[in-house]
Structure 1
Amino acid sequence: MTKPRLAVIPGDPSGIGPELLARLLAEDAVRQAADILLVGDGHLWRQGAGQAGVELALDPLAGDEVPGFSGVKHLEMDTIAPEDVKIAKVTTESGASALRTLDKALDLAMAGEVDGVLFGPFNKAALTAAGLNAEDEHRYMARYLGFEGYHSEINVLDELMTTRVTSHIGLREVAENISAEGIRRAIGLAHDTLVQSGKSRPHVAVAALNPHAGDNGKFGREEIDVIGPVVTEYQDRQMHVTGPWPSDTVFLKAKAGEVDAVVTMYHDQGQIAIKLMGFDRGVTVAGGLPVPVTTPAHGTAFDIAGQGIANVGATRSAFDLLVRLATTHRVKRLAPVSE
């Protein structure tokens, strides 16, 4: 089996990211699953190890260039002074540190030095103070990479993925922003990401917009005029896409393991369900970008930062999924080009 090479960055220095990643890297199975490059300030990694109460040996790379490394190596950076790390506080310094390590990890991925990126939780207020100048880190990454194709956040819980047609807009704007092309993009993103993660013929369920899936037009015609026809298009292509399902029952199918992904029409339609099903195991994937990127779905948890009690479950799930995505990415990247 091809072993992927991953860049791992600590996330916001003020939050639980350094602790979680140090705890993750203390697991033998993690160290055996991938070659790992720790990117960032050595004192941040030592900080995390101290908070987690684990040993974390930092084996430095020689110079700034990344050779064909193996095992667990450390690429030193100087992004924040130790005295500027303020645990459980939003600071510009922490935001700047997070952005600089993210930029470096993306550079490594685009250069083919690593096959995927795992980052500890970011704090959006700190990123914004440091100059994020984007709606979120996903838009920032796309802009940094010069990527203009379709991309969107994917939420993952165990083997279930969710994507959405509309995202960070007001609820009153949702219906007018439901389009056939938007639904196609969301279905395609879910399908392609599942295939990349190892599913050969994934089942993608599409949620309705209206109560009772519109009840044959009684509560709205979006299911008849827009959503249903797109589902039929995919079925005509022999793809396992079903719906539109009433949104108050589709996640019962998901919970029972009957579907691999749910495409929702708006943000909270999927987020509430998936967080109730397992908030401590949730993963966020930067779907559609030219390199695989994952992170635990929770935030920086300033309320428990520095206390050594952060739950590593979501971080381990993010790592496990990244190994699968990055392995596929590596195989495709290294495959000989046919003439």
Structure 2
Amino acid sequence: MGDAAGISPELTARMLADDAVRAAAAIFVIGDARVLAEGAKVAGVDLDIDMVAGGAPLPAQPGRPLLIDLGHCDPATVKLGEVSEAGGRFATENFRRALAMAVAGEVDAVCFTPFNKAAMRLVTPGYEDEIGFTAEAIGFHGVAKEFNVLEGLWNARVTSHVPLKDVSSLLTRDTILDNLKLTRDALRASGIEHPRIAVAALNPHAGEGGNFGREEIDVITPAVEAAKAQQIGCDGPFPSDTVFVRARRGDFDAVLTMYHDQGQIAMKLIGFEAGVTLMGGFPFPICTAAHGTAYDIAGQGKAHPGAMRNAMLLAARMASRGHGAAPA
């Protein structure tokens, strides 16, 4: 369960009442029974689940969704719609527990309802994003990146949560090549056997032959050629103002963009209420809705379940391909 001050409790309850989600995987829910009860009340659903205390042994195959009740958040202490340490601590502790279960092999995938980064920073001052938090929590030293997934279209990015002025200096042939490999592997893990990846240019008109910058000539094109030599199905660089048009009509399965908003704006315009964020590259899939905690509608029963449902189904599909039918 994510931030208790936002729509996370409501979304968690909606997922537990969703027939498609329940059929896709055996589900363990980590949180507080009181917060979940409030979420179910807001969502207007009756929950058919089992519950164990935080330290109790877990069944290998729960027949119904199972709440692991950590008993660590009284809803009365959390003000809906506001950034708070209580909301951030609740999400942080739940996430740590979920990651520990995945590392221990107790689950095959992790999903979380939305976090709020400002609230997380009140608990962990150095918190930057879920990628860095996860890597530190599980002792991971490899390459992991965020992917956005919507209606079969994937968006990957070479740089993410960095100032725009630093993007060009962070682009190298090797970093782009590494991200193309990671994108190919993530797509394959999701069931796309022969991924087609478009690479977005950095500059307007793909640099227009060097008139608007040389990154396409000196960095991006060499990376694409190196990837092709390694049998990665990719092409580009393409102007970023048209590449998503081509991808959406079916020319490509994914677009690798050079910076955060270059792809995020396009994907969220295509379908804000259905997009999924996948943290790829870790030993197990980690998924969430691409939207945030929606403090403005917290507690009102208005949370749209589409993106979170898609996140749960993607995590279950990837887990089943890699680990069989164990709990997810």
TM-score range, shorter chain: over 0.9
Q: Among 274, 279, 285, which residue is 1:292 paired with?
A: 285
After superposition, where does 1:28-177 map in structure 2 within 5 Å?
28-61=19-52, 64-71=56-63, 72-131=65-124, 133-177=126-170
TM-score normalized by the length of structure 2: 0.94
**What is the alpha-carbon root mean square deviation over aligned residues?**
1.6
**2:236 equivalent in structure 1:** 243
Q: Secondary structure at the match of 1:75?
A: strand
Q: Secondary structure at the match of 1:192?
A: helix
Distance (whole Å) between structure 1 residues aligned to residue 293 and residue 68 of structure 2: 23
The one-letter amino acid paired with 2:157 is: R
Distance (whole Å) between structure 2 residues aligned to residue 30 and residue 175 of structure 1: 41
Distance (whole Å) between structure 2 residues aligned to residue 170 and residue 27 of structure 1: 39
Q: Secondary structure at the match of 1:79?
A: coil
Distance (whole Å) between structure 2 residues aligned to residue 50 and residue 249 of structure 1: 45
Structure 1 residue 219, shift from structure 2 partner: 2.1
Distance (whole Å) between structure 1 residues aligned to residue 118 and residue 205 of structure 2: 39
Deviation per CA, 1:250-276, whole angstroms, max 9, x where unpaired?
Answer: 011111122111111111111111111
Q: Return 5+ residue gaps in structure 2 as ranges.
A: none
Q: Secondary structure at the match of 1:268?
A: helix
The answer to whether residue 294 in structure 2 is matched with residue 301 in structure 1 is yes
Q: Secondary structure at the match of 2:247?
A: helix
Deviation per CA, 1:109-147, whole angstroms, max 9, x where unpaired?
Answer: 111111111101001111111125221122111100100
Q: How many residues align?
A: 324
Distance (whole Å) between structure 2 residues aligned to residue 267 and residue 73 of structure 1: 36
Per the alignment, do residues 47 and 103 of structure 1 end up closer, same or farther by CA in structure 2, a change over 3 Å counting?
Answer: same
Distance (whole Å) between structure 1 residues aligned to residue 11 and residue 78 of structure 2: 17
TM-score normalized by the length of structure 1: 0.91
Structure 1 residue 31, shift from structure 2 partner: 1.0
Q: Among 14, 19, 35, which residue is 1:23 paired with?
A: 14
Larger mean Cα displacement after TM superposition, 130-139 or 261-270: 130-139
Are the counterparts in 2 of residues 79 and 96 from structure 1 also a CA contact under 8 Å? no
Distance (whole Å) between structure 1 residues aligned to residue 184 and residue 107 of structure 2: 24
Distance (whole Å) between structure 1 residues aligned to residue 280 and residue 156 of structure 2: 9
Are the counterparts in 2 of residues 204 and 260 from structure 1 also a CA contact under 8 Å? yes
Per the alignment, do residues 255 and 192 of structure 1 end up closer, same or farther by CA in structure 2, a change over 3 Å counting?
Answer: same
Q: Return 5+ residue gaps in structure 1 as ranges.
A: 1-9, 334-339
Are the counterparts in 2 of residues 154 and 161 from structure 1 also a CA contact under 8 Å? yes
The one-letter amino acid paired with 2:251 is: E
Q: Secondary structure at the match of 1:121?
A: coil
After superposition, where does 1:215-226 map in structure 2 within 5 Å?
215-226=208-219
Structure 1 residue 216, shift from structure 2 partner: 2.1
Distance (whole Å) between structure 2 residues aligned to residue 321 and residue 39 of structure 1: 19
Q: Secondary structure at the match of 1:168?
A: coil
Are the counterparts in 2 of residues 132 and 140 from structure 1 also a CA contact under 8 Å? no
Distance (whole Å) between structure 2 residues aligned to residue 55 and residue 132 of structure 1: 37
Are the counterparts in 2 of residues 42 and 58 from structure 1 also a CA contact under 8 Å? no
The one-letter amino acid paired with 2:275 is: G
The one-letter amino acid paired with 1:68 is: A
Are the counterparts in 1 of residues 160 and 260 from structure 2 also a CA contact under 8 Å? yes
Are the counterparts in 1 of residues 31 and 70 from structure 2 also a CA contact under 8 Å? yes
Per the alignment, do residues 203 and 332 of structure 1 end up closer, same or farther by CA in structure 2, a change over 3 Å counting?
Answer: farther
Structure 1 residue 25, shift from structure 2 partner: 1.8
Deviation per CA, 1:54-89, whole angstroms, max 9, x where unpaired?
Answer: 001331247522230223112111221232122112
Are the counterparts in 2 of residues 158 and 317 from structure 1 also a CA contact under 8 Å? no
Distance (whole Å) between structure 2 residues aligned to residue 292 and residue 283 of structure 1: 12
Structure 1 residue 180, shift from structure 2 partner: 0.8
Larger mean Cα displacement after TM superposition, 101-110 or 211-220: 211-220
Question: Which structure 1 residue ranges, 4+ long, deviate > 6 Å from structure 2?
Answer: none
Are the counterparts in 2 of residues 43 and 82 from structure 1 also a CA contact under 8 Å? yes
Q: Secondary structure at the match of 1:205?
A: strand
Distance (whole Å) between structure 2 residues aligned to residue 132 and residue 186 of structure 1: 28
